[in-house]
Amino acid sequence: MMEEQQTETAATTDSSGIRKGRFSEGMDPLFAGFNASIGFDRRLFREDIQGSIAHVRMLGAQKIIPTDDADRIEEGLRSVLDDFEKGRIEFREDLEDVHINIEEALKNKIGEVSGRLHTARSRNDQIALDLRLFLKNQSVLIKKVLLGLNWALIEKARNHIDLIFPGYTHLQRAQPVRLSQHLMAYFEMFRRDWERFVDSDKRIDVMPLGSAALAGVTFPIDRKMVAESLKFAGLSRNSMDAVSDRDFVAEFIFNCSLVMTHLSRLSEELIIWSTSEFGFIELPDAYCSGSSIMPQKKNPDACELIRAKTGRVYGDLITLLTILKGLPLTYNKDLQEDKEPVFDSLDTTLASLRVMSGLVGGIKFNAAIMLEAASAPYLAATDVADAMARQGIPFREAHASVGAIIRGEPTNKRFNPPTPEEMVESRCQEGATGKRSVIRQIEEGEDFLRRSGYLNSEAD
């Protein structure tokens, strides 16, 4: 019985042949499925082949393998790439991961000479390379989408420059502000997010090949050549670090987490503003759903989903940090578990950013209701206290007497509150909510979008 099972196991699992030398027994099918990463790392097949082409060219140029063989392998890899792109070859679970799937496809195409490709390389430095190539590209995309959201925000800010509404602290009406000032606050958050991706790009942009399993290789490789052909800015300095480092992945997910934090805060505000209690905005129908029972309902689903998906991305971050914690040097299979969190956080963040950009573009503001809410006399309390202070009364004293008036104490003081427009306009210094200041912010923001290439490129 036992023996039968083992024969069957062996027959189902050593298709790749990497167990050929060392193992006398096949893999348990249950474990084979558990061990396989092809279900998710297939997403890296382009990067994997791109890396292999750069590697094999270098092997040929350095005469580590015959140039003819290098050429045949390169040609084979290009054709395998095309086969995978067009779906002519399917990924096979029994071939464990993306690397073995590609190796096997190459072998089927060009025969045993394909075996020379893995000279001076390990899957440990190979997967580090793939992930770095992948995140380099994805960072370009996510930065562009972030700028797209900022463009949507700045357009709204420009078009509603004169709209005044209450600014809040503790979710209590505090002082009148321009809506544009509020929107430009989010612009600043997403600009910092963009900068954060720019900053962490340099830690992704490091070429790890040549580290092999952990210690480097015994062949006269040319790492610089590989780095240059793959357009990496530099080489990893320590082979043991290079195969075990996933800090750049953690950083990427953290960057996504903070983007989601900002999206979630914005979502929450839009949800509140769209309630009948507030009535400040009307969300675009295209981003809302109805209720199956209550005909009057229009629900802010997009905002709610973004708010909830933020939790997913935080989860991805904690997953990765927990994987890394306590890992001894160097490569450990634990690191295979980095893929799903990073793919998930990337996909979730990109989708959330795109949905939010579309939604922001379609928001309608109810200017009259918003101004009305900013016109409650007590919103002028600070300004009245300021006026008293200008007349020589110590501010603390002025603060107390205005407070007493608001509480309803009788007073002989004349209380002549300024209008919301006057209050907003009296705050004219840099960064404040006065018109000149907000226009300056918008112009500077447009300048930033231009400098970062957004206004010249196609929006994504």
Give catalytic residues, as residue numbers.
170, 291
Asked if the peptide bond before residue 349 counts as cis, ω within 30 degrees of 0, the response is no
Beta carbon nearer to ligand ARG, 65 or 131:
131
Contact segment (CB under 6 A) with ligand ARG among 21-29, 133-141, 331-339, 391-399 equals: 331-339
- Site map (CB under 6 A) of ligand ARG, residues 34-73, x = contact: ---x---x--------------------------------
**Near ligand ARG in 124-163, by CB under 6 A:** 124, 127
Nearest residue to ligand ARG on Cβ basis: 336
Cβ–Cβ under 8 Å, residues 348 and 302: no
Cβ–Cβ under 8 Å, residues 439 and 161: yes
3-state DSSP call for residue 175?
strand
Nearest-approach distance from CB 372 to ligand ARG, in angstroms: 58
DSSP 16: S
Please give the structure tokens belonging to residue 433: 């909510």
With contacts defined by CB under 6 A, how many residues of the chain interact with ligand ARG?
A: 10
**Near ligand ARG in 336-365, by CB under 6 A:** 336
Nearest-approach distance from CB 437 to ligand ARG, in angstroms: 51
Nearest-approach distance from CB 333 to ligand ARG, in angstroms: 6
Enclosing H/E stretch for 294: none
Beta carbon nearer to ligand ARG, 181 or 244:
244
Beta carbon nearer to ligand ARG, 333 or 414:
333
Contact segment (CB under 6 A) with ligand ARG among 5-13, 192-200, 330-338, 445-453 equals: 330-338
Is 123 a binder of ligand ARG (CB under 6 A)? yes
Q: How far is CA 221 from CA 61, 77, 168, 232, 233, in A?
A: 9, 20, 62, 17, 18
For every residue of 42-63, DSSP letters joined together read GGGHHHHHHHHHHHHHHHHHTT
Beta carbon nearer to ligand ARG, 115 or 358:
115
- Closest-CA residue to 256 (of 367, 379, 346): 346
Nearest-approach distance from CB 225 to ligand ARG, in angstroms: 24
Beta carbon nearer to ligand ARG, 244 or 255:
244
415 vs 412: CA distance, rounded Å: 9
165 vs 157: CA distance, rounded Å: 13
Count of CB atoms situated within 10 Å of the CB of 82: 12
Nearest-approach distance from CB 168 to ligand ARG, in angstroms: 47
Nearest-approach distance from CB 128 to ligand ARG, in angstroms: 8
Helical H runs in 222-278?
223-229, 239-244, 247-273
Contact segment (CB under 6 A) with ligand ARG among 110-118, 270-278, 302-310, 327-335 equals: 327-335
Query: Taken in order 88, 92, 97, 99, is the CA torsion positive or negative?
Result: negative
CA 257 to chain centre: 7
Is 251 a binder of ligand ARG (CB under 6 A)? no
Nearest-approach distance from CB 242 to ligand ARG, in angstroms: 13
Contact segment (CB under 6 A) with ligand ARG among 46-54, 102-110, 123-131, 305-313 equals: 123-131
Beta carbon nearer to ligand ARG, 333 or 407:
333
Is 101 a binder of ligand ARG (CB under 6 A)? no
- Closest-CA residue to 153 (of 429, 445, 451): 445
Cβ–Cβ under 8 Å, residues 211 and 125: yes
Contact segment (CB under 6 A) with ligand ARG among 63-71, 158-166, 333-341, 346-354 equals: 333-341
- Closest-CA residue to 358 (of 206, 172, 153): 153
With vertex at residue 58, the alpha carbon angle to CA 53 and CA 64, rounded to the nearest 5 degrees, is 120
Beta carbon nearer to ligand ARG, 194 or 331:
331
Residues near ligand ARG, by CB under 6 A: 37, 41, 97, 123-124, 127, 331, 333, 335-336
